[in-house]
Amino acid sequence: MADSGTGGGSTTTSANGTAPGAEAALAVEGEATPLRVERVEPSIAVLTLSRPKQLNALTPELVDLIRETLVELGGDASVRAVVLTGAGRAFCAGLDIARQVKRNEGRARSSAERFASQENFASMVRAIRAIPQPVIAAVNGAAAGAGMGLALAADIRIAAESARFHVAAVKIGLSAGECGISYHLPRHIGSSRAAEIMMTGRPVDAAEADRIGLVSRVVPAGELLEAALDTARAIVANSPFGVMLTKRALWSNLDVTFDTALEIENRTQILTSMSNDHAEAMRAFLDKRPAAFTGR
């Protein structure tokens, strides 16, 4: 599905050991490697979203790659920890809006199609939570919308000083609840702070994220990956079974209604996607002007 290498001139293969050509059909159109997988150490895998020109924005194809690669790694007992990060100056900017608008140009999508697409995006979050290995998000820059959802779903978040978290969707006429955000954010930082961030749509910089407990710590950008790897090494030093059950117990005991939260988010997102305000926001985005919302 995605590239895997051990650095320094090694041969690149996919996560399951197949040749690079075998994965070309799953790559985002025009992009050979939108997701890289590297076994930097025998027991640690690093997943890098690799669309830096698009700020690692998500397409349906990339969503599929992320989910399938996580499932594949989850079934590999030799992988004990996973680090998730982004190439370039962003972690993940959320949905690739420009590509989505172009793809749907000239045709109206049914509510069933919209819902299936929303569920597909939510599947990435489920995959992070479902795999037995701890996932560490090394947030190197902007994490917006579904990209913020990816970061929040990780077991541990470490941020570069350049990191910014942004719910984004509420600014374009949609609900801020997507990809697990309405489930994870209040559990990470409390309901009042979560409500203020989600309802205003304001960004949260790295310093604030550290202060309110959204991330474990903040480090200089050049030290981010090594900080994440150090945490992974500390985890790997513990019992595999103990770590697996710790992850399971931690999340199970926080709450057992995650699927219900996703169902509510999916329905809310579809309802808001049918609104006039969302259509206006899409036009304004393409016109590079402020949206004129009417509340309809």
- Asked if pLDDT for residue 98 goes beyond 80, the answer is no
Specify the pLDDT at position 31.
59
* Higher pLDDT, residue 172 or 132: 132
Place of tokens 């479902």: 130
Chain Cα centroid distance, residue 8: 28
pTM of this prediction exceeds 0.85: no
> What backbone phi and psi angles, to 5 degrees, belong to 120?
-65, -45
Binning the chain into helix, strand and coil, the percentages to the nearest 5 are: 50, 15, 35
Specify the pLDDT at position 36.
97
Rounded Cα gap, residues 173 and 220, in angstroms: 35
Specify the pLDDT at position 256.
57
| Secondary element (H or E) of residue 66 | helix 60-74
Q: What's the whole-number mean pLDDT along residues 267-290?
A: 85
- Can you list the alpha helix ranges (DSSP code H) found in 214-239? 224-236
Question: Which one of 3.90.226.10, 3.40.50.150, 3.50.50.60, 3.40.50.720 gives the CATH number of domain 3-222+239-287?
Answer: 3.90.226.10
| Secondary element (H or E) of residue 39 | strand 35-41
- Asked if pLDDT for residue 10 goes beyond 60, the answer is no
Specify the pLDDT at position 270.
81
Rounded Cα gap, residues 59 and 62, in angstroms: 5
Candidates 56, 78, 227; CA nearest to 141 is 56
Report the SS3 class of residue 241.
Answer: helix
Specify the pLDDT at position 14.
40
Beta bridge partners of 136: 83, 156
